[in-house]
């Protein structure tokens, strides 16, 4: 046995924590200015204003960047970086986009380099980035505990920046911030978190160190996602899904994902679709095929959520998606594409790491079969 | 629910890892000199020489400090600090003593302050200590993942230095380094790790975040300690106990200990005794009393190691100690003391935090009963 796990930031969990951001910043010495990168939706609810007011009262200059929506684009990274220059801490509040923008801005602001300088690991990140506090509000991406950051490059191409230097120093998990997430997004993001954990615990990179987090994440999300979807104000369920998503982020930070993410990234290459929904559809389309290989890791993952063995997984996953109201439908934009188009994307070079990491070898015939299964879904979203 | 968990360093696990220290130091930029703080026993086996040779080959100046044994004393901290000045990384290799010396030296070397400046939290540690790599070889203290460091002050009084700045950047878990630990020490240290985990998971500070590590630590140690004691060369068992001890360190770093450590620290106040043995004796003397309270946390801890419920714990603990050959005896030096002496130490101010954190209230009558139970053991070690 040989493995390594990457460092895990301080984690603070509790309802209402974010409102006390000014107090939490206290331990970081000599802080004069803080940039808050916040989803526009959250900022419009007045959340930023309250926190900014408290920071100002504490003698700390608050800055805000919330002029973005959807997947982060290069221009968002550049804009956030420009505002981050001169601050001491960058706080990301929102879904994966807000967090990724904040993490990259904290690096670029100290080096003076453009984000493209670091894209696809062209150059190492600076080793003295600004302090980073990450406050996830969607309970899905796990960006708060990972070293990976995704954005769209100059020609709209999906790019990534990777490095331990981009990881958070402090993660705030405040279940209250997730209450406003609508049921369908709660379900999609929660399924994404569950699948992060499952894939990290069962792919070719899986190891004992990461399985500790992955299994706990699976337990937390499987045990509470339905309640969080059906009773949006259930803070206990919201909190467990949020914590599960954070642990799932640790799991993928160490072991990455597998076939379901090969499919969801391939789908995103065709037309816009919510990442969590795409991943859930890809997972349901492949879990039976994967469980048939019957590996020790897959059986262990099944038992972690109280199932008898791997063979019980496909039924459990479909039932979980049913209970959480996940409709098996694609956006209308997918009408323009065939299953061959999806299969081609699944074979694209940038999606090969997730194909190769999958514990069962994915043949070309498998790809065609999975693509056909996905593209046979109704296109009505 | 509200909790926080303190950051966890990079962890690398694998047999033979320490021999490749020079390669592992690569990612730390611009390293010119490294101080290795190593138990004299390990250094005498030539281990330091091999690693020093490889560091020198890699253009890194190796320095060694191994002139200590037993509990760290102030003079050891000062000597290690003097050698650490001018280095970039301090590597601690050994039991808790070597690790604690290394962690403190890494802080004092940059600030130029004497260790006493930081004792009992008199002043905050410097926020830019030298990089620290911790390599535990006894699988017990968990110092590699904790922020607490123990030493004997000028008058021999037990003192501590605490702070996140003293925590490791990288933990190397190399099961090969633990093979030479004799069976009795393996058993005592392993029991200490198990009890760290149990107490952190069940005391008044216990929370969901720390229980993840505590329960895994209990499973790992309970499942492999007997094999590690009986077959010292069993690398799989050695590795699991070592990993369990590391996770138990994370658990106490967040939640601290309880009654068994109140007793073992009190015993150390009377006469020298191995900390792991003292803690195991204190644990066995109190676990039935604790389990009678029947809290949710204690039941959960019992189930984590496959027991039905809390009531099964006392039998399990005694059986584990039997299987690991832990004799219930005290050092001869304890002949000079009565159970009243031990009870007085248990009531001493410095041992009150562990009394207060215990989930069942410890009455004065309880203290007298526990002290009588411990002091009735044969004094023949």
Q: Give the pLDDT of residue B28.
A: 76
Complete domains list, chain B, with CATH = 10-177 (3.40.50.1970), 181-375 (1.20.1090.10)
H or E stretch at A278: helix A275-291
Please give, rounded to a whole number of angstroms, the shortest distance from the CA of A305 to a CA of chain B: 14
pLDDT grade for A360, boundaries at 50, 70 and 90: very high
Asked if B239 reaches chain A (Cβ–Cβ under 8 Å), the answer is: yes
State whether A4 and B13 contact (CB < 8 Å): yes
Q: How far apart are CA A9 and CA A134, in angstroms?
A: 10
Query: Residue B71's pLDDT band (boundaries 50, 70, 90)?
Result: confident
CA separation for the pair B187, B222 (Å, rounded): 11
pLDDT at B10: 97
- Which tokens hold the place of A86? 């001169």
Cβ atoms A172, A133 nearer than 8 A: yes
Q: Is the pLDDT of residue A75 over 90?
A: yes
Residue B226, chain A, CB below 8 Å: the answer is: no
B128 touches chain A (CB under 8 A): no
pLDDT at A71: 87
| Cβ–Cβ gap B127/A8 under 8 Å | no
- Residues of B in Cβ contact (< 8 Å) with A236: 1
Side-chain half-sphere exposure of A318, counting CA atoms within 13 A:
9
> For B213, which residue in chain A has the nearest alpha carbon?
A212
Residues of A in contact with B6 (CB under 8 A): 10
Token pair of A206 as six digits: 């899986």
Of A175 and B25, which is predicted with more confidence?
A: A175
Nearest to B29 among A12, A127, A208 (CB): A127
Radius of gyration from C-alpha coordinates of chain A: 20
Closest CA to A142 of A213, A77, A86: A213
Of B5, B9, B247, nearest to A11 by CB-CB distance is B5
Q: Phi/psi of residue A7, each to 5°?
A: -55, 150
Structure tokens at A10: 């301080």
Q: Do A10 and B13 lie within an 8 Å CB cutoff?
A: no
* Interchain pair B1, A11: CB under 8 A: no
B4:A15 CB<8 A: no
User: How many Cβ atoms from other residues are within 10 Å of residue B221's Cβ?
Assistant: 33
Based on the number of CB atoms within 10 Å of its own CB, is A163 exposed (0-12), middle (13-18) or buried (19 or more)?
A: buried
Q: Could you write out the DSSP letters of every residue in A54-99? A: HHHHTT-EEEEE----SS-BHHHHHHHHHHHTT-SEEEEEESHHHH
Q: How far away is chain A from the Cα of B133, in angstroms, using its nearest Cα?
A: 13
- Tell me the chain B residues in contact with residue A13 when contact means C-beta distances shorter than 8 Å: 1-4, 208-209
Mapped onto helix, strand or coil, the DSSP state of residue B327 is coil
- In this complex, the residue of B4, B9, B29 whose CB is nearest that of residue A11 is B4
Instruction: Note the pLDDT tens digit of each residue in B274-323.
Output: 999 999 999 999 999 999 999 999 999 999 999 999 999 999 999 999 99
ipTM of the complex: 0.95
Two tokens at A359?
A: 């514990």
**Tokens of residue B194, six digits:** 């198990």
Q: What is the dihedral of CA A256, B243, A215, A145, to 10 degrees?
A: -50
**Is there a contact between A10 and B4 if contact means CB atoms under 8 Å apart?**
yes
Share of chain A above pLDDT 70, in %: 100
Summarize pLDDT for B112-129 with one digit per residue, the tens: 999 999 999 999 999 999
Q: Kindly tell me the burial class for residue A350, based on how many C-beta atoms sit within 10 Å of its own C-beta (0-12, 13-18, 19 or more).
A: middle
Residues B259 and B353: beta-carbon distance below 8 Å: no
The model carries a pTM of 0.96
Surface of B (136-195) touching A: CB under 8 A: 169
């Amino acid at each position: 046995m040989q493995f390594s796990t990457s460092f895990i930031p301080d984690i603070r969990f509790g309802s209402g924590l974010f409102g006390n951001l000014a107090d939490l910043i206290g331990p970081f010495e000599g802080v004069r200015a803080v940039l808050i990168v916040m989803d526009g939706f959250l900022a419009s609810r007045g959340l930023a204003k309250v926190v900014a007011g408290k920071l100002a009262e504490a003698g700390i200059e608050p800055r805000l960047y919330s002029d973005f929506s959807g997947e982060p684009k290069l221009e968002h990274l550049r804009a956030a970086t420009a505002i981050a220059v001169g601050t001491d801490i960058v706080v990301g509040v929102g879904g994966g986009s807000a967090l990724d923008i904040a993490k990259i801005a904290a690096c670029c602001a100290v080096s003076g380099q453009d984000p493209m300088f670091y894209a696809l690991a062209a150059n190492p990140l600076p080793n003295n980035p600004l302090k980073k506090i990450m406050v996830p509000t969607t309970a899905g991406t796990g960006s708060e505990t990972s070293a990976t950051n995704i954005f769209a490059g100059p020609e709209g191409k999906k790019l990534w920046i990777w490095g331990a230097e981009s990881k958070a120093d402090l993660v705030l998990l405040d279940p209250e911030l997730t209450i406003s997430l609508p049921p369908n997004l709660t379900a999609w993001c929660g399924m994404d978190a569950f699948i992060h954990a499952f894939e990290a615990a069962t792919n070719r990179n899986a190891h004992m160190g990461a399985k500790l987090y992955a299994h706990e994440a699976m337990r937390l999300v499987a045990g509470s996602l339905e309640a969080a979807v059906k009773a949006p104000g259930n803070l206990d369920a919201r909190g467990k899904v949020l914590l599960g998503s954070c642990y799932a982020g640790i799991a993928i930070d160490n072991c990455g994902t597998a076939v379901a993410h090969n499919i969801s990234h391939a789908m995103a290459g065709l037309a816009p679709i919510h990442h969590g929904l795409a991943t859930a559809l890809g997972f349901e389309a492949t879990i039976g095929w994967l469980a048939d290989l019957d590996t020790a890791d897959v059986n262990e993952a099944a038992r972690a959520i109280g199932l008898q063995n791997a063979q019980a997984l496909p039924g459990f996953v479909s039932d979980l998606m049913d209970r959480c109201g996940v409709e098996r439908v694609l956006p209308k934009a997918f009408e323009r594409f065939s299953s061959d188009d999806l299969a081609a994307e699944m074979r694209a070079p940038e999606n090969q790491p997730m194909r190769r990491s999958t514990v069962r070898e994915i043949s070309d015939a498998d790809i065609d079969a999975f693509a056909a299964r996905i593209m046979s879904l109704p296109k009505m979203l």
